[in-house]
Structure 1
Amino acid sequence: MNFFQLLMKKKELIPLVAIMTFAASGATSFAVYSLGKTDVILDRKKNPEPWEHVDPTVPAKLVTINQEWKPIEELQKVRRATR
C-alpha cells in the first residue's frame, strides 16, 4: 500500500505526519545553521586551539540581553605582572 493511499484511508494520521515533518525539518535546518557558526570546530588541523582566538566583545549565545563587557581589574593586574 502506498504511503499517500494510507494517509487518504486513515485521515487522522495527516496532522501527525505534518507535525513530525515540520519538527524534522526544523531540527535539520538548525543543525545546518549551527555548523556554519564559528563556535563549531569541524577541522582541528587548521585551528587546533580555538579558545586562544575568542573575542570577548562578540556574544557567543543565541540570545544576549543587556550584555556589557568590562575588563576584570584583578585579571588585568595579573596579566601586567606576568608580562
Structure 2
Amino acid sequence: MVGFFQILRKKKELIPLIGFVAFAATGAASAAIYFLLTKPDVILNKTRNPEPWERVDPSKPQKLITINQQWKPVEELEYVKSLTK
C-alpha cells in the first residue's frame, strides 16, 4: 500500500485515471445492486419464485428509460391465462 502512494507521488498524471476508474467501478457496482434489489425479472432464489414474469406489473415501466409506453392486454394471452388457472 505504501508503494502505491509512492508511485502516485512520482507519477501525478495517474491520479485522474485512478479517480475515473474508481468512479466507474462504483457506478457499475451500485447499478448491479440496484437491479438485483428492485427489478422483478432478476431473481436470486429460483425455489421461492420459479416464474417471476407472472408477477410483472404491466403498467409499471420495466426499462431504465421508457418513452411513450402504452400497454394493452393481448386478448389471446388473457384467454390462455384464464384457461390455465
TM-score class, shorter: 0.7 to 0.9
- Tell me, which stretches of 5 or more residues in structure 1 are unaligned? none
Q: TM-score, normalised by structure 2?
A: 0.77
Residue 79 of structure 1 aligns with an amino acid whose one-letter code is Y
Percent identity reads: 56
Distance 1:22 1:53 in 2: 35
2:46 to 44, 47, 57: 44
Aligned length: 80
Larger Rg: 1
Q: TM-score, normalised by structure 1?
A: 0.79
User: Once the 2 structures are TM-superposed, how far is the Cα of residue 54 of structure 1 from its aligned partner?
Assistant: 2.2
User: What do residues 16-60 of structure 1 show as CA deviations (whole Å, max 9, x unaligned)?
Assistant: 111111111111111111111222100011101122222221211
Any idea what SS the aligned residue of 1:31 has? helix
What does residue 26 of structure 2 align with? 25
- Tell me, which stretches of 5 or more residues in structure 2 are unaligned? none
Distance 2:42 2:74 in 1: 27
